[in-house]
Amino acid sequence: MNISEILTPQRVVIDLAAASKAQLLHRFSESASRALGIDEGEIFRALSNREKLGSTGIGEGIAIPHAPLRGIAAPFIHFVRLKKPIDFESIDDIPVDIVYFLLTPTDGNATHLNVLAAIARKLRSPETLRAIRAASEPEEMYLALLDEGAEGERPQGAGPRVARQLPPVGRPEPRGPYRMKRCLFSELGTKQVVVLPASRYRLRATKR
């Protein structure tokens, strides 16, 4: 699954201000409610209940809040870069500044897994993360997420590709090696395990 199949440039937000995880979830729930015609409180409860199972902060300043939601027929996504990092109770304790919101149909577990895997593959690239953090426009963030070499995925009139060789953007480096921890996406019927050795992570699925 390609990210461009599920994310449009109009759902990319740059430098969003949020003081806390709860406020960020509320702001997304409000935006999703307007777009989907579903009660804001229902969206917020779905995301909050998922966070109670374990933080969706997967490390390196990234979070992927996600939940199944009744009343939608296809995945609904927003991609956000925060103006200032916030505490997300992430597995490496680094504040989060890159957030990928994902709502999926309640009967779409396979789709849910495929979307999460596509996002995780892209966001584990240091070059992609540097491009996202250095972007000055939402379109630059969007282009940074597209699969490398897939010209067919680029929107018409998008212009040249974003340069991949970007200097690191100033942000605190983790102190010492990461301890290996797990983030369980237990609502999916499988376990999604994020393993963080040193500065990289990978996503794998194992049956219960």
Tell me the pLDDT tens digit for each residue of 103-145: 999 886 676 678 778 888 888 889 999 999 999 999 999 998 8
Answer whether residue 166 is part of any domain: no
User: In this structure, what CATH number is given to the domain that contains residue 62?
Assistant: 3.40.930.10
pLDDT of residue 142: 92
| Per-residue pLDDT band at 1 (split at 50, 70, 90) | low
Catalytic residue set: 66
**Highest mean pLDDT: which range of 25-29, 114-118, 157-161, 188-192:** 25-29
Answer whether residue 141 is part of any domain: yes
The 3-class secondary structure across 113-153, one letter per residue, is: HHHHHHHHHHHCCHHHHHHHHHCCCHHHHHHHHCCCCCHHH
CA gap 57, 27 in Å, rounded: 17
Answer whether residue 82 is part of any domain: yes
Answer whether residue 127 is part of any domain: yes
Mean pLDDT, residues 177-183 = 36
pLDDT, one tens digit per residue, over 77-101 is 999 999 999 999 999 999 999 999 9
| Per-residue pLDDT band at 197 (split at 50, 70, 90) | very low
Answer whether residue 182 is part of any domain: no
Q: Which two tokens stand for residue 122?
A: 């892209």
Domain range for 47: 3-152
Mean pLDDT, residues 151-160 = 43
Answer whether residue 187 is part of any domain: no
CA gap 66, 30 in Å, rounded: 15
Number of domains within the chain: 1
Answer whether residue 203 is part of any domain: no
Cross-strand bridge partners of residue 18: none
Place of tokens 């374990």: 54
CA gap 143, 22 in Å, rounded: 29
> Average pLDDT over the chain, rounded to whole?
76
